[in-house]
Structure 1
Amino acid sequence: MLMIRRFHFLRAWLLLLLTVLPAAHASLIPESDLWEFWAAHDAQSSLRVDHSAWQGLLDTYLQEGATGVNLFDYAAVTAADRARLQGYLDALAATDPRALRRNEQFAYWVNLYNALTVAVVLDHYPVKSIRRIKGGLLRLGPWNEPLFNLQGQSLTLNDIEHRILRPLFKDPRIHYAVNCASMGCPDLAAQAYTAEALEEQLDEAARSFINHPRGVQPDGKRLRLSSIYDWYGADFGADREGLLNHLSQYAEPDLAAALDGFNGRIRYDYDWRLNEPR
């Protein structure tokens, strides 16, 4: 009898967790709130940041999986390449992004975010999901952990995304560029972001995600969308119509036709498994 009671208690607890975790994550999404310290830029700057070390790591360890998702082979990263990654981060730490022009800044912050994410996963590997890193009982990930020191400031991943990138650039394509090391996330781009190619790279990132089933998938009278469109809805449009217009802007013809005039139910989901080969 005691075992049966324990079984029912555990089942109820697991069901509660399954209900609470998505809502808990959504409630922890920070608002876009500019950190004024990082607001400056130099429109006349000719400085260029060297992202070749990051590109070399992407060339070596990033691969397209069978489902069309870019996968990073964390298990294969050598000690020498971990040092190479740290050297790249050290070089970024020695650069003051406020001395850069805007597009160079954008590339700097996105590449920094993605490289830091890979670094923190490697520091805790093997791990099944980035949400199992740090955090307490609910294991909601490392996003609020201080990971990087720059110009006397301690930065978290959330600082970079929500206090710098989102409020400074006000571009929904940010969400297709930063990668959270998860299968449901927009791809970790195969090419390091650069100021010169930024617009093309951001458009390609948006098209790639929106036209993949993990981003947008019509299902009869329903529409399945990635949870990023729920978590950051205001970034993509003021309302449902604005969101659908955003999606249609990058959709291939068949998907655009399915989105045209859509008035059914929208369901959101997300796959938090680590973006590694299986």
Structure 2
Amino acid sequence: MKKITTQLMCLNVALLTCTGVIASEISDKFSKYDANSNVEILYDDYDAVLKASVLAVGQSTRAKAKESNASIGTRMKVRINKLTALEGNRFFYEQFQDDDNQVLLENIQKSLETVPSEVSLSKLNRDEQLAYWLNLYNLTVLIELIDMYPIKKIDDEFEDDETIFSKKTLTIEGVELSLNDIENEILFKNYDANPIIIYGMYQGNVGGPSIRKNAFTSRNVYQNLRSNASEFINSNRGTYSQGKSTFRVSSLYERKEKYFPEFQSDLTAHLSKYIHGTMSNYLREGPTLKPNINDWKITDLFKSQKSRGMSSAANSAALMDSVGITSGGKGEGVPNASTPTLGLAAEVYSDRGVTYGRFSPEQIEMLMKVDEIRLENAGEVTITDIKTEEQ
């Protein structure tokens, strides 16, 4: 009897399995949208977290970090990738070792998971859906890395079969999803394999796209994706050449090669849209692209980057070790007393973690009216007596 019951639970017309919709059906499940919808999800709590926790380093100058010298009182050195060490935004992981701060992030994640149960994603326009998926993706990466912290490198997460990207960590509209599901079955398929999408998916490592200081919204999503693309491509993390026949690019592009079916030509065309300066001249010469630029260090601000011994390492990359230091570029600097705090984020979350909490009062009123109409219609069944010729 138990066996039969289990079999019945795993079988339905929607092709569900015990772990959710099968991979080939996920994109269909989340493919519907309303092009005319003006419903907007509010992310001000998550936005406050990012503003309080992200150090925006600014656009790369393509300068290399200086050689690391041993700290006073020790022979230990801080090992860095000199080509990329000064680039990419950093996240203040250390402050989330506080249980309350960690719970705050997890509560925001749970709140975002429940949004589609209140308002179906199919009632949102495409840009609103894109912002939703990217925010949920990046927030989940942060939570997973916080759970692993302190760590220095995360290369295993890109090589092993069981990683933070492959495990089912989210449940949306009753469907269990992994981060890979979100990328491969939803974003890739529902957004026409547009490579701009890859710059919105934070990977947690210095060699990947930057985590931004603000949440994605339908109003800013493409502008911010283009900004991230330009920052990445015009950095040593994204492209680097010394004018030879080989043009080095990030290994990110090899991992995302499905966005570039004809890898050499498609990626060259893509890079050409954003690259400028000397590197653009090298790229125009038609070199072979070699995806071998890596930096697996976690984008941490403090603990994982700290030097050993009595003093900090004597190199410019050590800016990540000091609380009071600001970015040398156009970044916004390390969070301090004048920037938003996690306390503010917690206050904002208290208004969001309720039914319809992620929508404006005007939208809530509209949504409730829609729900009333839907329930009324669901309760009405009209039977028409159809007479045949024999009657």
Q: TM-score category by the smaller chain?
A: 0.7 to 0.9
Q: In 2, Cα distance between the equivalents of 1:176 and 1:57?
A: 20
Q: Structure 2: give runs of 5+ residues left out of the alignment.
A: 1-22, 58-84, 306-391
1:33 Cα shift?
Answer: 8.7
1:49 Cα shift?
Answer: 1.0
Instruction: Tell me, yes or no, if the aligned pair for 2:247 and 2:287 is still in contact at 8 Å.
Output: no
Name the larger-Rg structure. 2
Instruction: Tell me, yes or no, if the aligned pair for 1:134 and 1:140 is still in contact at 8 Å.
Output: no
1:64 Cα shift?
Answer: 3.3
Q: In 2, Cα distance between the equivalents of 1:225 and 1:219?
A: 12
SS of equivalent residue, structure 2 residue 273: helix
Q: In 1, Cα distance between the equivalents of 2:205 and 2:252?
A: 12
Counterpart in the other structure of 2:37: 45
Instruction: Tell me, yes or no, if the aligned pair for 2:54 and 2:92 is still in contact at 8 Å.
Output: yes
SS of equivalent residue, structure 2 residue 290: strand
What is the aligned counterpart of 1:68 among 57, 80, 87? 87
Instruction: Tell me, yes or no, if the aligned pair for 2:87 and 2:237 is still in contact at 8 Å.
Output: no
Q: In 2, Cα distance between the equivalents of 1:165 and 1:231?
A: 16
Q: In 2, Cα distance between the equivalents of 1:225 and 1:33?
A: 34
Instruction: Tell me, yes or no, if the aligned pair for 1:134 and 1:142 is still in contact at 8 Å.
Output: no
Q: 1:98 to 1:130 in 2, by over 3 A?
A: farther
Counterpart in the other structure of 1:15: none
Counterpart in the other structure of 2:190: 168
What is the aligned counterpart of 2:285 among 261, 265, 270? 261
Q: Structure 1: give runs of 5+ residues left out of the alignment.
A: 1-30
Instruction: Tell me, yes or no, if the aligned pair for 2:196 and 2:229 is still in contact at 8 Å.
Output: yes
Q: In 2, Cα distance between the equivalents of 1:32 and 1:213?
A: 37
Instruction: Tell me, yes or no, if the aligned pair for 2:53 and 2:91 is still in contact at 8 Å.
Output: yes
Q: In 1, Cα distance between the equivalents of 2:43 and 2:201?
A: 16
SS of equivalent residue, structure 1 residue 223: strand
Alignment of 1:51-200 (within 5 A): 51-65=43-57, 67-77=86-96, 78-96=98-116, 97-132=121-156, 138=160, 141-169=163-191, 170-200=193-223
Q: 1:234 to 1:153 in 2, by over 3 A?
A: closer
1:178 Cα shift?
Answer: 0.2
Instruction: Tell me, yes or no, if the aligned pair for 2:238 and 2:293 is still in contact at 8 Å.
Output: no
Counterpart in the other structure of 2:226: 203
- TM-score between the two structures when normalised by the length of structure 1: 0.81
- One-letter amino acid of the counterpart of residue 186, structure 1: P
Deviations 1:66-93 (A, max 9, x none): 7131011111223332222122212211
Task: Report how many residues are paired.
Answer: 246
Instruction: Tell me, yes or no, if the aligned pair for 2:254 and 2:291 is still in contact at 8 Å.
Output: no
- One-letter amino acid of the counterpart of residue 218, structure 2: A
Q: Name the stretch that deviates more: 73-82 or 47-56.
A: 73-82
Instruction: Tell me, yes or no, if the aligned pair for 1:131 and 1:139 is still in contact at 8 Å.
Output: no
- One-letter amino acid of the counterpart of residue 165, structure 1: L
- TM-score between the two structures when normalised by the length of structure 2: 0.59
Q: In 2, Cα distance between the equivalents of 1:91 and 1:56?
A: 15
Q: 1:264 to 1:171 in 2, by over 3 A?
A: closer
Instruction: Tell me, yes or no, if the aligned pair for 1:148 and 1:154 is still in contact at 8 Å.
Output: yes
- One-letter amino acid of the counterpart of residue 268, structure 2: L
Identity, in percent, stands at 26
Q: In 1, Cα distance between the equivalents of 2:30 and 2:182?
A: 10
**Higher percent of residues as helix:** 1
Instruction: Tell me, yes or no, if the aligned pair for 1:182 and 1:274 is still in contact at 8 Å.
Output: yes
Instruction: Tell me, yes or no, if the aligned pair for 1:226 and 1:270 is still in contact at 8 Å.
Output: yes
Instruction: Tell me, yes or no, if the aligned pair for 1:39 and 1:98 is still in contact at 8 Å.
Output: yes
Q: 1:106 to 1:144 in 2, by over 3 A?
A: same
Q: In 2, Cα distance between the equivalents of 1:134 and 1:217?
A: 22
Q: In 1, Cα distance between the equivalents of 2:270 and 2:158?
A: 34
Counterpart in the other structure of 1:270: 294
Instruction: Tell me, yes or no, if the aligned pair for 1:181 and 1:275 is still in contact at 8 Å.
Output: yes
- One-letter amino acid of the counterpart of residue 101, structure 2: D
Alignment of 1:242-257 (within 5 A): 242-257=266-281
1:237 Cα shift?
Answer: 5.7
Q: In 2, Cα distance between the equivalents of 1:143 and 1:35?
A: 17
Q: Name the stretch that deviates more: 199-208 or 219-228.
A: 219-228
SS of equivalent residue, structure 2 residue 254: helix
Instruction: Tell me, yes or no, if the aligned pair for 1:42 and 1:102 is still in contact at 8 Å.
Output: yes
- One-letter amino acid of the counterpart of residue 88, structure 1: I
